[in-house]
Amino acid sequence: MTRSAAEIYLDNNATTAIDPAVARVIHEAMLAGPANASSQHAIGQTARSVLDDAVERIGRCLGSDLNRPGGPRLIVTSGGTESNNLALTGIAAPDAPIVVSAVEHPSVLAVALAMNRADGAGPRREIRLIPVLPSGVVDVDRLADLIGGEGTGRAKAGLVSVMSANNETGVIQPTAEVAKICRWKNVPLHIDATQSIGKVPFAVHASGASAVSFSPHKFHGPTGVGGLWLDAGVKLSPMLRGGEQQLLTRPGTEPVALVVGMAEALQIATANLVDFAAHAQSLRDRLETRLAEACPNSVIHGHGRQRLPTTTCVSLIGCDRQTMLMALDVAGIACSSGSACSSGSSPPSHVLTAMRCPENQIDSALRFGVSKFSTQEEINRAAELISRCNNRLRQM
């Protein structure tokens, strides 16, 4: 079988195609001239004005006033991975335990486990994992005990980190309940909202979080830039040294054009959330319905739970996920077998493992993600090709 000339892209949880309108504003910003917002001359101050305006727009889209002195602020990073690393390493006291859910993105779990092994500088940290229910939802009833503190017989945690929605299953987490417990325990909460912001309503200040990570390449913005929102009064120790930018918390010359692109992408996404959600969910449901009809061996993970409108995680039992992934790639469908940050080596999904899924479901799981550019015709064709590859591989 030869590769289809028109590939159907269904790996939008990993990254999305940049919106042409966003590409244009980035292009214009790059052509406007040198843009070092830290320079004191007039050209530098012009860049500073452009950067500040973009950050203000981002704040409005996120439901946060970033202009108020002493109020919330936005740290510009290189993306969601850096934002998550910075939050985990920079918010809690150096010796305080950290609580994370068992289904977090690798950019949270990997840094937590590294701190537990004391791979980097600083003392070894205790890491406590919040288990998840078979539905993929974090077990909120366990959180207060895991945070610890007075009367519990264990040291009080210095940070809780729970994602807003899972990148593999799309299951939306009960962050409002998590935030309520964190407020009661007086422990800062970090939310990795990389999969939610730009796709579903999410107001950072109303979330109850102390810190929120996001990245615009998940909603048709540029790669190479991201954000870490910090609530008023939250102190952050830097990972990087050697510059005074961003109040010493994240040194380095700010990528003005990319921040402008991030603001544009977020403004477009938040202005069209209702229509986008309806479009995405109709395509997701169509794909799942057709797969259920054509592939009796299919299992949709998180089905019946509140999920992102974009995401389908399906196990085609009896088909090896890597073999299926390659067969679909040849057929012209781009999807993934898990997190894009780990799919190169394709280890078994830690998310489905934490959900206690049977081994045959874990070994056959694929993730499909739609975007605003996905079409009904593409979904119809994708369902046909997936079922065809599934039947052929099962016969083999």
User: Which residue range forms the structural domain that includes residue 304?
Assistant: 8-18+273-395
**pLDDT band at residue 4 under the 50/70/90 scheme:** very low
CB 132 within 8 A of CB 355: yes
Cα 74 to Cα 246: distance, rounded to the nearest angstrom = 9
CB 113 within 8 A of CB 127: yes
Which carries the bigger pLDDT value, residue 2 or residue 60?
Answer: 60
pLDDT for 321-363, tens place per residue?
Answer: 999 999 999 999 999 986 555 445 568 899 999 999 999 999 9
Give the CA distances from residue 346 to residues 84, 176, 323, 350, 353, in Å, rounded to whole numbers and listed in that order. Answer: 22, 33, 11, 11, 14
Domain membership flag for residue 3: no
What's the pLDDT score for residue 248? Answer: 87
Cα 380 to Cα 364: distance, rounded to the nearest angstrom = 22
Shared-domain flag, residues 261 and 315: no
What CATH number does residue 244 fall under? 3.40.640.10
> Which residue type, as a one-letter code, is found at position 123?
P
Shared-domain flag, residues 279 and 262: no
3-state percent breakdown (helix, strand, coil) of the chain, nearest 5: 40, 15, 45
The residue out of 245, 271, 297 marking a domain boundary is 271
What's the pLDDT score for residue 150? Answer: 87
How does 86-107 read in b/e, with b if 16+ C-beta sit within 10 Å?
A: bbbbbbbeeeebbbbbbbbbbb
Mean pLDDT of 23-50: 94
Q: What percent of the chain has pLDDT over 70?
A: 95
> Which of 225, 129, 211, 216 is closest to 164 using CA atoms?
211
Tokens of 385: 């090709």
Shared-domain flag, residues 286 and 328: yes
Computed over every residue of the chain, the mean pLDDT equals 93
Q: In total, how many domains does the chain have?
A: 2
Mean pLDDT of 15-34: 97
Tokens of 289: 């319905």
What's the pLDDT score for residue 247? Answer: 82
pTM over 0.75: yes
The residue out of 216, 240, 271 marking a domain boundary is 271
**pLDDT band at residue 101 under the 50/70/90 scheme:** very high
pLDDT at 6 over 60: no
pLDDT at 48 over 60: yes
Domain membership flag for residue 210: yes
**pLDDT band at residue 2 under the 50/70/90 scheme:** very low
Shared-domain flag, residues 307 and 236: no
pLDDT at 312 over 90: yes
**pLDDT band at residue 122 under the 50/70/90 scheme:** low
What CATH number does residue 342 fall under? 3.90.1150.10
**Contacts of residue 49, Cβ cutoff 8 Å, sequence gap at least 6:** none
Shared-domain flag, residues 34 and 148: yes
What's the pLDDT score for residue 340? Answer: 53
**Alpha-helical regions (H) of the chain:** 20-31, 42-62, 80-90, 106-117, 143-147, 175-185, 256-271, 273-294, 321-331, 350-354, 359-362, 376-395
Domain membership flag for residue 323: yes
CB 383 within 8 A of CB 291: yes
What's the pLDDT score for residue 121? Answer: 58
Lay out the sheet containing 298-300: strands in order across.
Answer: 298-300, 311-316, 365-369
pLDDT for 61-96, tens place per residue?
Answer: 999 999 999 999 999 999 999 999 999 999 998 889
**Contacts of residue 169, Cβ cutoff 8 Å, sequence gap at least 6:** 136, 301, 302, 307, 311, 313, 351, 352, 355
Bridge-based pairing of strands 333-334 and 8-9 is: parallel
Domain membership flag for residue 1: no
What's the pLDDT score for residue 3? Answer: 43
pLDDT for 139-187, tens place per residue?
Answer: 999 999 999 988 888 999 999 999 999 999 999 999 999 999 999 999 9
Shared-domain flag, residues 239 and 386: no
Domain membership flag for residue 2: no
**pLDDT band at residue 54 under the 50/70/90 scheme:** very high
pLDDT at 239 over 70: yes
Domain membership flag for residue 308: yes
Annotated catalytic sites, by residue? 341
DSSP 171-228: BBP-HHHHHHHHHHHT--EEEE-TTTTTTS---TGGGT-SEEEE-GGGTT--SS-EEE
pLDDT at 385 over 80: yes
CB 41 within 8 A of CB 246: no
Domain membership flag for residue 313: yes
